[in-house]
A and B are shown apart, each in its own frame.
Chain A
Amino acid sequence: MLAAAFVLVWLAVQVGLPVRQHLTKEGARPFAWQMFSRSIDVPRFKVVAADGSETEVEDWERYLGRVRFEVDFARHVPPFLCDSEPGAVAITTYQADGSGPVARLECR
C-alpha cells in the first residue's frame, strides 16, 4: 500500500512541479526540464544613494561564482548588493527591458 501511495505521489510531483514552474515563473525554470528552449533575460539592479539618485550596477554578474539563469536573481542579488555597494540605502530591481522598478529593498 505504501508503494502504491509512493507511485501516485511521485508521478504527481514529477508532472505537477514542471507544470507549476511553467505556470508561475518567467525566464529559466529549474526542475521543469526546460533546458535550452528559449533566450533568458536577467533583471537589472540600481543602487539608491542617500540623496535619492539611482545608479545602475552594470556588472553585478562579477559577483557570481557560476552563471546559471535558474538563480532567483531578484531574491538574492539585492541583499547582496546592499552589503557590497558602498553608500547604498536601497536597491531597486528593474526588468531586463528597463521597465519598473518592480521591487525595492531598503538596506539596513
Chain B
Amino acid sequence: MTDRLLRLVTNDTPSVPVGVGRVVVGLAGCLEVLSTITSSRLDKVLRAGVLEAPRWEALPRLSQDGGRLFVVAWLVCLALFTIGWRTRVTGGVAFVATDYYLAMDQQLYANHVYLLSVLLLLFVLADAGAAVSVDAARGRGHPSVPRWPVFLLQAQVAVVYGFATFSKLNGDWFSGRVLEVNLLRIGPFDLPSVLERQGVYVACAVATVLIEGFLTFALYVRRLQPVAVAVGVAFHLSIVLTVDRWSPYAAIGFTVFGLEMVALYVVCVGVPEQWVAAVRRVTWVRSSVAPA
C-alpha cells in the first residue's frame, strides 16, 4: 500500500490527455459563466430585498455592481485557462472565484459548478498547461506531468457516478415519479404520448442506475473503455435532450456537467495517437505538444 502510494506520487504520466481535458473543462466553465451573465443569475441573488443565504456569515458579499465585475473577471480567467495562458495562475484564480461564487450564497449552488471547482484545482495541480496550451507553445511545455493529480482526476469519475448511483437507490426514484416530472414534454424532442406511461419511467429509472453504476468502474477497465465512453457520451447527451427545460438555462447546466465528465473520460482513457498527430499538424499547437 505504502509502496503503491509512493510510486503514485513519484511517477509521471503523458501530458497531452491532461491538456485536452483542460480545454474541455475550460470550455465548460466559460459556458457556465456566460449563462450566468446572460441569465443575470448572480444579479438576481444579489438584488436588495432578496433572501441572503451565505454559506458562512463572515464571508463578504458583493454589491450588484461588484457582482457584474466579478463574473467578467471569472470568465476572463476561465478563457485564459482554456487556451493555457499562464495556466497555473489563471486556473488558480478561476478556482478561487468558483469557490467564492459557491460560498457567497447557497442559492448559487449547482452540482456542475461544484464539480468545476474540484476539476479546476486538480487540473492546476496536474500542470495542465504542459501541453495543448499557449504556455507550451512558448516553450514551457513538458511531455509528462505528475501522476498523482491525474489519479485524483480519474478517481473523481467513480466518486461522482458512484454517489449518483447510491443516491438513486430509493423508492421515489424507482417509482418513476422523478423522471415523470422532469422528462421533456415540449420542443423538438417531445416525449411521444405513447411513451408517457409509468412503466416507461420506471424502466428509464432502472436503466439510469445501471448506466451510472456501470460508469462508476468501467472507465478503469481497459477493454470496457470504448463501450464506457460511448455509453457515457450518449447518456449525457440524452439528459441534455430529454430533461424538462424549466428554465432556458437548465439545458446549459446539463451540457456543462456532460462536458466536465467528458474531460474526465479523456484523462481516464487517454488520447489516440492519431489525434495527437492531428493536433501537431496545427501550427501553433505543434510546438506546444512535446514529443512523448
Contacts and interface: CB of A to CB of B under 8 A. Distances in A.
Interface SS, B side: helix
B173 interface: yes
Contact of B107 (A22, A32, A34, A68): A68
Given A33-B163, A63-B51, A71 B8 contact: no
Given A32-B167, A38-B178, A7 B151 contact: yes
A7 B105 contact: no
Given A14-B156, A15-B159, A68 B9 contact: no
A35 interface: yes
A18 B107 CA distance: 19
Q: Chain B interface: which size bin?
A: 35 or more
A34 B212 CA distance: 12
A33 B53 contact: no
B53 A72 contact: yes
A63 B44 CA distance: 10
B196 interface: no
Contact of A65 (B6, B105, B111): B105
B51 A33 contact: no
Contacts of B109: 30, 68, 70-71
B163 A65 contact: no
A14 B181 CA distance: 30
B164 A10 contact: no
A74 to B, nearest CB: 11
Nearest to B46: A65
B189 interface: no
Contacts of B106: 30, 68, 70-72, 76
Contact of A33 (B146, B155, B160): B160
Given A30-B109, A33-B160, A39-B178, A65 B44 contact: yes
A36 B156 CA distance: 19
Contacts, number: 111
A4 interface: yes
Interface in B87-121: 105-111, 114, 118
Contact of A64 (B51, B162, B172): B51
A66 interface: yes
Nearest to A70: B109
Nearest to A81: B51
Contacts of A15: 159
B178 A36 contact: yes
B6 A36 contact: no
B53 A76 contact: yes
6 closest cross-chain pairs (CB), A and B:
A65-B45, A33-B163, A37-B167, A3-B9, A76-B53, A65-B50
30 contacts: A3-B146, A3-B148, A7-B8, A7-B148, A7-B152, A8-B5, A11-B152, A14-B159, A18-B159, A29-B167, A30-B106, A31-B114, A32-B167, A33-B111, A33-B159, A33-B162, A38-B172, A39-B172, A63-B49, A63-B50, A64-B107, A65-B46, A65-B105, A66-B41, A68-B108, A70-B106, A71-B107, A72-B53, A76-B52, A76-B53
Interface of B: 5-6, 8-9, 41, 44-47, 49-53, 105-111, 114, 118, 146, 148, 151-152, 155-156, 159-160, 162-164, 166-168, 170, 172-173, 177-178, 181-182, 243
